[in-house]
Amino acid sequence: TIRPVTIGAILSDLDGTLVDSTDAVLRVWHRWMDDHGLGRTRSAEHPHGIPAREVVARLAPHLDADAEAAELERREIADLDGVVALPGAAALLRRSGPPPLAVVTSCTLPLARARLRAAGLAEPPAMVTAERTARVKPHPDPYLLGAELLGVAPAACVVLEDAPAGVAAG
């Protein structure tokens, strides 16, 4: 028999799930790679869904990952051309009834807010960003914090994700 399932909360990733930022992300990263004499990654090869600091550490371990991540964040906030809402995102964020929703992203809070604004989307009341947990995706900590912020048991949450690291975390 099929039993109905009650969804206690929605935990949604941002990039690739609520907004399409791929062109802007790749544009910034490719310029950064060019600046450092690194080979460019194609979209499918770029490690999406994890914080910039970890991507820098993977692609250029000889560089200061914290300093480079700060520079990349500055560039990404400055280049939002083409960041758009994905279908259904505005309606999902605009609704007022249950279940509650939290955005759970590997972006920093300033970058997440900039992308939401660029896409014309409302900021949800609950946001979990890269700086809020010690461990990031693919660890479950960001999604566990999202459930906690909404006061819902993790098992009662549905996760909306597009990147392998986020799927593993969810």
CA angle 87, 123, 75 (to 5 degrees): 85
Active site residues: 13, 15
CA distance 109 to 5: 32
**Burial per residue of 45-58, b for 16 or more beta-carbon CB atoms within 10 angstroms, e otherwise:** ebebbbbbbbbbbe
Tokens of 59: 């692609």
- Rounded to whole angstroms, the Cα distance separating 78 from 84 reads 15
Q: Provide the sign of the torsion angle of the four alpha carbons 71, 170, 163, 55, taken in this order.
A: positive
Strands 19-20 and 9-12: unpaired
